[in-house]
Amino acid sequence: MDYHYFYAYLQPELSEYDAWFNVKDNQLVLGVSVKDSSKVERYYTRFISYMKEKHNLRIDKQLKIDKWLMPHIRPGCAIDYGVGRVLFAGEIAGFLNPMGEGISAGMESGYCVAQAISQHLDSVDLVYDEYRESTAALHNYMKRQWSFVAGMTDTFKEMKL
Ligand SMILES: Cc1cc2nc3c(=O)[nH]c(=O)nc-3n(C[C@H](O)[C@H](O)[C@H](O)COP(=O)(O)OP(=O)(O)OC[C@H]3O[C@@H](n4cnc5c(N)ncnc54)[C@H](O)[C@@H]3O)c2cc1C
């Protein structure tokens, strides 16, 4: 396997979204996504067995275990820009990259909302207009990513726009 790549495994028997393998700081990173948290150990054990069998994975020492919560991917790629004077950016707003590379979308939407606030301090409506407009390209990019993933396998067809 090439350590430059991020490998995502979409077989439904390995996870409830994807299972992944990559290399960061010369360490192996393996994980599984689940919708039902009670199934995480079962999927993870299965994925580790799969990697041992198919790719001769060998773990000498487990250095770290992490768990994350990820927003549920909703059909339609709707964006929640905010409620009243509370504005949303990043994944919670819906700038959720289904390919996993979400940090840049979080930073870009955060920058856009900050700019909109600084330019229209006196008008909440103008803040929303500006924020919506300045993130239109980002929103379109998210939609394209969602459509792309929806076409990969039947498991993801609910993401079709
Ligand atoms: C395993 C994994 C690997 C990833 N790898 C990459 C990668 O290599 N590159 C990449 O670009 N992206 C990666 N991502 C995605 C990336 O982590 C996210 O897209 C990004 O962190 C989203 O940023 P965010 O600011 O929207 O949300 P978050 O980073 O989730 O920040 C939200 C913050 O709000 C806090 N919070 C929640 N509720 C409350 C509350 N009620 N009050 C106060 N605080 C609250 C949370 O604790 C959290 O700190 C990965 C994600 C996962 C799960």
Helices 136-150 & 103-119 angle (0-180, nearest 10): 160
In total, the chain counts a number of residues equal to 161
User: Can you tell me whether residue 77 is helix, strand or coil?
Assistant: coil
**In this predicted model, what pLDDT tens digit does every residue of 79-130 receive, in sequence order?**
999 999 999 999 999 998 887 778 999 999 999 999 999 999 999 999 999 9
Q: What is the dihedral of CA 121, 85, 70, 18, to 10 degrees?
A: -60
Residue 54 Cα to ligand 1 middle (Å): 31
Q: Which residue has the tokens 């820009």?
A: 81
Q: Are 97 and 146 in contact (CB under 8 A)?
A: no
Does ligand 1 lie within 6 Å of residue 68's CB atom?
Answer: yes
Q: Say yes or no to pLDDT of 78 above 80.
A: yes
Output the residue whose Cα is nearest ligand 1's atom 7: 101
- Testing ligand 1's pocket by substitution, the residue of 47, 103, 112 carrying the most ligand atoms inside 8 A of its CB is 103
Query: Residue 161 has what pLDDT?
Result: 74
Distance in angstroms (rounded) separating the CA atoms of residues 30 and 136: 34
- The vertex-155 CA angle with 154 and 158, nearest 5°, equals 85
DSSP letter for each residue of 80-132: --EETTEE--GGGGT---TTS--HHHHHHHHHHHHHHHHH-TT-HHHHHHHHH
Does ligand 1 lie within 6 Å of residue 91's CB atom?
Answer: yes
Instruction: Indicate yes or no: pTM above 0.75.
Output: yes
Q: Out of 31-40, 68-77, 94-103, 139-148, pick the least confident.
A: 68-77
Query: Residue 145 has what pLDDT?
Result: 87
* Domain range annotation of the chain: 7-55, 82-159
Q: Which residue has the tokens 């250095």?
A: 63
Query: Residue 73 has what pLDDT?
Result: 64
Question: Which of 144, 80, 76, 65 minimizes the C-alpha distance to 113?
Answer: 80
